Amino acid sequence: MRKILGHFQCWLFFYYFSLITSQQNHAQARCASYKKKQMTKKILIILIIGLIAIISCKKEKKSQISDAEIWKLGWRMIASSMDENYELANQQFDSLANFSDQIDKQYLITGLKAKNEIGKNEEIIEILKNQKEEILQQICNRGFLSQFEPCSGVPIENAENKELQNEIMKMYVDDQAVRGNLMEDIISKYNIDKSEITKDGGVTVDERNRNRLKEIFKEFGFPNSKLIGKDAMQGIFFIIQHSDGDKEWQKSQLSNIEKAVENGDMDGQKYAYLYDRIKINSGEKQLYGTQFAKVDPINKTVELADTENIENLDNRRMKVGMMPIKMYKEYMLKNL
């Protein structure tokens, strides 16, 4: 009996020993599994952090170029397009898109035009698809863009007062025609009879336009793009800008132009041009470098009129969307 009891105790000892060993092995396995899971988690966390860092670096890299450099690149692209070097303009636009998520409207239109000229239609469609409805409404009325699918169905600007719009557009065309700029696209868009365009007598046209504009302002107040459309708003600006025959009235319109810019009915350049013209007409220094004191077509030289704080001139021009002053002078020389 003792022998049997001894065997049983021995078996019981080994049973508990094996059970404990097994539990230890399971515990070690669980521990190893836990460590493995923890290690996997750590690796995943490191990968995620690394991925975030890479994305952040890319974003940071995208923003490493300064606003001033983006501005200069955008205007170089516009200059290339004006010179009909569309391949270069396209490359510059792609660089611009790589550096900036939001592209200024004037750069966007120029870049899309360059792509259209060299047949990159698929790229145009993709770019248009990524634009907000508000931007599409502003750019899809361009003749070359209306053919693309993303622009189909986009409501075209519809002036509330078509009759007034057409009258101001006719005045605008005359204003430009007497200065040698026959705006064929505008003439076609608004079905203006070419036989009715005044091409001579700048002073007479300016006076006639100015007097009629005064009457319009009395009747309608200072218009907005909702009433007459953005093209006609541009026409209003040029008529005011060319109203040197009544400097006091011209000066009185600066606040209206400023409000129009604030409301998005005109771009900032319009305010800058009128501000400088008023200052120069008053014998004061200009601020934005839009007016020239000397233009010599024979020797191909231009000289700015007196300008306030000329060291920071380009900063001011950039803020209102104007081209760098060096480029502006070069453009003037090209067109002498």
Q: For residue range 57-72, list pLDDT tens digits in order.
A: 544 444 468 999 999 9
Report pLDDT for 203: 85
DSSP state for residue 70 in the 8-state scheme: H
Q: State the pTM of this model.
A: 0.77
| The Cα angle at residue 111 between residues 108 and 113, in degrees rounded to 5 | 110
DSSP state for residue 236 in the 8-state scheme: H
pLDDT higher than 90, residue 19 = no
pLDDT digits (tens, 9 = 90+) for 214-253: 999 999 999 999 999 999 999 999 999 999 999 999 999 9
| Range scoring the smallest mean pLDDT among 141-150, 208-217, 224-233, 322-331 | 141-150
pLDDT digits (tens, 9 = 90+) for 253-269: 999 999 999 999 999 99
pLDDT higher than 90, residue 12 = no
Report pLDDT for 81: 96
Q: Return the domain boundaries, the chain.
A: 16-64, 67-151, 162-334
Mean pLDDT of the chain, nearest integer: 86
Sign for the CA dihedral angle at 223, 227, 233, 239 comes to negative
